[in-house]
Structure formats: structure tokens, C-alpha cells
Amino acid sequence: MSISETVQIISHSYYVPTVKLILVSFSGFDESERAAMKFMVETMGAKFTPYLSRLNNLLIAKSVGVEKVEKAREWDIPIVNYQWLADSYAGQRVEIDNPRYQVGQPCEGVSPGPYALEMINDQFKQLLLAWKMPIIVSPEQWRRSFDTKQAVENDEGVFPNKKLRAQSAPPSEAEIAAKAEERKKAGGKHPEYVVAFCGIDEENKHVLTQVGHNCY
């Protein structure tokens, strides 16, 4: 089965629970866990709040006995564990009152490995199946892709800074001063040129004046 066919199967069978526009808060999770959970919540159409207020519709907690959980109970805000969010994000039909989602019950970690993801549901297993199948690349395909990569990397239209890196480094202030002094000692007349610049900042204006001319 191809990746596109797998994605189509998942998109047709994927169930998104009714969580749109509800306010969800977290308790007891570290920064990396909260970032992943926030992404999951917002992907399903809900909104994450770092605080807990009477307006919140749900609290996802890692453990009990903390102030946030106690406040949620006082305000009759439903409290669930991370498993509720994981199952919801996986497209399963979840019920808040299910004992499986009560805080303290065993649940998956926020960042499980690929083997744990396969055990969540069949859709995840099908999605990960494509990454277990080797991609056969012939020597000719490898050579063409390498040549294309080299051509793109050497194209100054794509990477103009590559041309700048190939040029010699600009002279230092000491080198400029030495060259100006050498020119003065040599004497003689040199042709004068007037060059106009626009949009030059003060730093570049200072550099331009080092060549021995005024910059207005």
C-alpha cells in the first residue's frame, strides 16, 4: 500500500471529537510535554490556556493533590489524564467519565516511541507502515539526483552568497590606510571620479570615507 493510499484511508476514517472552541488547561506537565499537548489541542480546534479559570471546560492533569486540580473540582471542571487527549487525537470516540481517563490511571507518555504509537490504533499502525518499507533507488537514479544537487548548489542564481564566499576578503582598515599613504607618497595626479550612493547607513559611510574621499 502506498503512502497516499494510507493517508486517504486515515482521512476517511479519522474521527475528530467535538472539542472545538472549548478551553483546555494543563497541570503537572513539563515544558516539552506542554508544547506537544498544546499542538494536539489546537489541532483539534480547542484552545489552550496556561491558567485555569471558571471559563475553562477541561483540565488535563498528570497527578492529583495540586492546587489547579483542587480548583477544577471546586468549580466543577472535568478533569482527565493525558490518555484522553491521546485517544481523542488518534480519532477514537472518548467519554470523559470513562474510568480509563481518570487521573491516576496508567496512560501513555506524552512522547511515546514509534512502537507505542502502533499500539494506539490501527490508523497509526498503517501510517507508520510506510516508514518500515525500504525505498529501492537504482544507481542511475542516485547519480541523477547527485548531479541535480550539485547543479543547484553551484547555481549563483539560487545561492548568490556562494559567489560572495568565493571572492577574496575585503581589505582591513589598516590595509586601506597603508594604501592611501602609499598613494600620497607617490604623488602625481590621479583621475577624480564622483560616485553617488543611496541608502548608505552610517557604518558603511564610515568605510567609504576610509578610501580618502568625502561621503555626503
Q: Report the CATH number that the domain containing residue 48 is assigned in CATH.
A: 3.40.50.10190
| Per-residue model confidence (pLDDT) at position 95 | 87
Contacts with 99 (C-beta within 8 Å, 6 or more apart), sequence order:
105
Domain match, 29 and 105 both: yes
Domain match, 126 and 148 both: no
| Per-residue model confidence (pLDDT) at position 15 | 42
Q: Which residues of 67-87 are buried (b: 16+ CB within 10 A; e: fewer)?
A: ebbebbeeeebebbbbbbbbb
Q: Which amino acid is at 96?
A: I
9 confidence band (pLDDT: 50, 70, 90): very low
Looking at the 3D structure of the chain, how many domains does it have?
Answer: 3
Q: Which amino acid is at 60?
A: I
| Per-residue model confidence (pLDDT) at position 81 | 93
Give the end of a domain, one of 132, 158, 187.
Answer: 132
| Per-residue model confidence (pLDDT) at position 101 | 92
In a domain, 59, yes or no: yes
What's the CA dihedral at 215, 173, 187, 213 to 10 degrees? Answer: 0
Residue 26, φ and ψ in degrees, nearest 5? -120, 160
Domain match, 93 and 14 both: yes
- How far is Cα of residue 60 from the mean position of the Cα atoms in its chain? 24
User: Average pLDDT in the 128-156 region?
Assistant: 86
More confident residue, 154 or 79: 79
Give the end of a domain, one of 72, 105, 132.
Answer: 132
pTM (2 d.p.): 0.52
Q: Is the pLDDT of residue 11 over 60?
A: no
What residues make up the domain containing 204? 173-209
Q: pLDDT tens digits for 47-73?
A: 999 999 999 999 999 998 899 999 999
CB 25 within 8 A of CB 49: yes
161 confidence band (pLDDT: 50, 70, 90): low
Q: What is the DSSP string of 53-112?
A: -TT--EEEES-SSSHHHHHHHHTT--EE-HHHHHHHHTT----TT-GGGSTTS----SS-
In a domain, 87, yes or no: yes
CA distance 105 to 63: 10
Distant-in-sequence contacts of 54-59, Cβ < 8 A, 24+ apart: 55/23, 56/23, 56/24, 56/25, 57/22, 57/23, 57/24, 58/22, 58/23, 58/24, 58/25, 58/96, 59/24, 59/25, 59/26, 59/27
CA distance 135 to 145: 15
In a domain, 161, yes or no: yes
